[in-house]
Amino acid sequence: MEGTRRLTGGGRAILTALAAALVLCTAALVLAPEKAYAYGFKQTAATKDSATITWEDPNAGSSFYTTTGYTVQWGEEYGKVTKSVTLPATQKNFTFTGLKPGTKYYAKVTYSCRTSYGAYDSQYLASGDIASRVVTPTGVKQTKWWYYARSVEFTWNKQTAADKVEYKVCKNGSSKAVAKDSTAYLSTNFSVPKVKNNVMYTVQMRVHDQWGWSGWSKKAYLFTQPMVNAKKTKVKGNKLTVTWGKIKGATSYTVYVSTKEKKGYKKLATVKSSKSSVTLKKLKGKKFSPKKNYYVYVVANKKVGKTTYTSGKHYSYKVKGARGQLRWTFD
């Protein structure tokens, strides 16, 4: 036909090579890693120490690509993997075991495939968060009671898999909540305002994930540090007498003394809850002197079973002879 030239054998070979190169380039573009493909990637089950994911074959129905296997990688930090496992092409699910309870992990799935032109490894399929089930909260305890602000802070062992947390605060011996909150703000510390000094409270927590709520934690106890009685705390006759206000519900009190405000405190006495004063004779083997400065603080304790809750330290009391001064600490 006019205007048409026949290709020589060499020309046909060049065109064939160009076509093959174009196919390979196209395949490389299609299979480029880190594309935002999903392919049905999702978590389908969880226990307190395991999580199961499933996905679909990215080459299902393709006459050109054939999937030859999968690699699953995971780690606790988002975007970083520390463990991996290789799976056959027939397996499109995996169960992670040995996970920490209530913990979120990062998981990534890649695949390998082959064509008539070659094989391709580590092709991105999908990635995302997985998580073990939340469990009953632990480590719930008081961190600070603000005496004049009349608020209390408490902490817990945070579970990263939780999407909501709920707590309730009651007066000790009562089931009626004086403070209750449910929030998606997963802080490690919570603050409860408008509490009354010298009154003991209980706090319980529970957490939620996509599978439901955990159980309520065991009761933790919240209470203020006993205030030292300024008029009755003094050094007289080489003895130090310390007097404090009682906390209803406490099971004992512990008295600490030092010659320095910030350090060096020694536990000199632990007395029953029926007592509100103690007379001390020596500190580090030496008698007390009315001419020296001493720093004193008292901690209230609440023992429940094998667990002892304490008010902690928020202030100390400086005493010299019969005169004293309150010293607040904010550590």
Query: How does residue 29 score in pLDDT terms, banded at 50, 70 and 90?
Result: very low
Task: Find the range with the poorest average confidence among 17-21, 36-40, 77-81.
Answer: 17-21
Q: Residues with Cβ < 8 Å from 274, sequence gap 6 or more? A: none
Looking up tokens 């064939």, which residue turns up? 16
Looking at residue 329, its pLDDT comes to: 62
- Stretch 206-223: mean pLDDT, rounded? 97
Instruction: Give the pLDDT of residue 205.
Output: 97
pLDDT at 37: 53
C-alpha 100/C-alpha 132 separation (Å) is 7
Pairwise CA distance, residues 105 & 79, whole Å: 10
For residue 56, count other CB atoms closer than 10 A to its CB.
14
Rounded mean pLDDT, 240-250: 95
Quick one: CA torsion of 311, 262, 267, 149, rounded to 10 degrees?
Answer: -20
Q: Which domains does the chain have, with CATH numbers?
A: 33-131 (2.60.40.10), 141-222 (2.60.40.10), 234-328 (2.60.40.10)
Which residues lie across from 72 on neighbouring strands? 85, 109
What mean pLDDT do residues 188-198 have?
A: 94
Task: Name every residue whose Cβ is closer than 8 Å to that of residue 301 and which is 6 or more positions away in sequence.
Answer: 250, 251, 252, 253, 254, 270, 308, 309, 310, 311
Residue 184 has a pLDDT of: 85
- What's the pLDDT band for 330 if we cut at 50, 70, 90? low
What are the helix (H) ranges across 73-151? Answer: none
Q: Return the pLDDT at 325.
A: 73
pLDDT of 314: 87
| CA gap 296, 230 in Å, rounded | 11
Does the pLDDT value for residue 112 go beyond 80?
A: yes
E strand intervals along 132-199: 141-146, 151-155, 164-171, 177-183, 189-192
pLDDT at 10: 52
pLDDT at 34: 35
Instruction: Render pLDDT for 87-97 as a digit per residue (tens, 0 to 9).
Output: 999 999 999 99
Q: Tens of pLDDT along 226-239?
A: 999 988 999 998 99
Under 8 Å CB-to-CB from 4, ≥6 apart: which residues? Answer: none
- If you average pLDDT over every residue of the chain, what do you get? 88
Q: Give how far Cα 19 sits from Cα of 13, 15, 25, 261, Å.
A: 10, 6, 10, 84
For residue 204, pLDDT over 80 is answered with yes
Q: Of the ranges 4-13, 166-175, 246-255, which one carries the lowest mean pLDDT score?
A: 4-13
Average pLDDT over every residue of 235-254: 95
Copy the structure tokens of residue 53: 């994911």
Q: What is the reported pLDDT for 24?
A: 38
Query: Taking the complete model, does pTM exceed 0.75, yes or no?
Result: yes
